[in-house]
Amino acid sequence: MRNAVKLVLIVALMLVAGGCATNISKPTRQATAPKVKFGEFKTVEMKPVALAPAFASSEANQRATRKIDEHLFSAMAKVFPNIKRTESFSKPGPGVLQISPVVKEIKFIGGGARFWAGAAAGSSAVLMQVEYKGGAGGNLLADPEFYAQANAMGGAWTMGGTDNAMLERIAMDVVNYTTVNR
């Protein structure tokens, strides 16, 4: 009986410790300026934020990606009032900037998991890459990566508030990069 209790406690501890692990990669390089300033383009097209297939099986990750997309497009429309939302780009041409945001990796802790497991659910984190292409040949101008994280304990204390704020923060990092390089 005593051994069974010890075994249950060890397994429970392993599950809690495993849930806390967040292994999302950080950017491998610093974001550099694009080859051409974004303000030189008259037409701007942007695809919805895509989610890497390896992370698409989680409904929480899908919801988080949609939320990032909402924040990103709304803010980018203030940078480029003529921005066009599109599922597929038009033919590349002079004066056309094409923006493709992709969530490469994500672990998002939703409100339900945060309510029931608190900090034991782990931290939320996201790694996003954005390709900016432009010109007649659709040349790659820049492909910076952006990273944001929400601390597990902060998520627990705010009932997921820091997890949700992370989604807006990553979108604003992209917008800030775009604005600086406009």
* Residue of 42, 29, 50 lying closest to 143 (CA atoms): 29
Does any domain span residue 78? yes
For residue 1, pLDDT beyond 80: no
Domain contains 93:
yes
Q: Which two tokens stand for residue 58?
A: 């989680």
Does residue 40 lie within any of the structural domains? yes
pLDDT at residue 109, as a whole number: 76
> Is the pLDDT assigned to residue 111 strictly greater than 90?
no
Question: What are the DSSP calls for 56-106, one per residue?
Answer: TT-HHHHHHHHHHHHHHHHHHHHH-TT-EE-SS-----TTEEEEEEEEEEE
pLDDT value, residue 72: 98
Domains in the chain: how many in total?
1
Taking residues 86-98, what's their average pLDDT?
Answer: 92
pTM of the entire structure? 0.82
pLDDT tens figures, 10-46: 434 444 444 445 688 888 888 899 999 999 999 999 9
Residues of the domain holding 115: 22-180
- The CATH code of the domain that includes 56 is 3.40.50
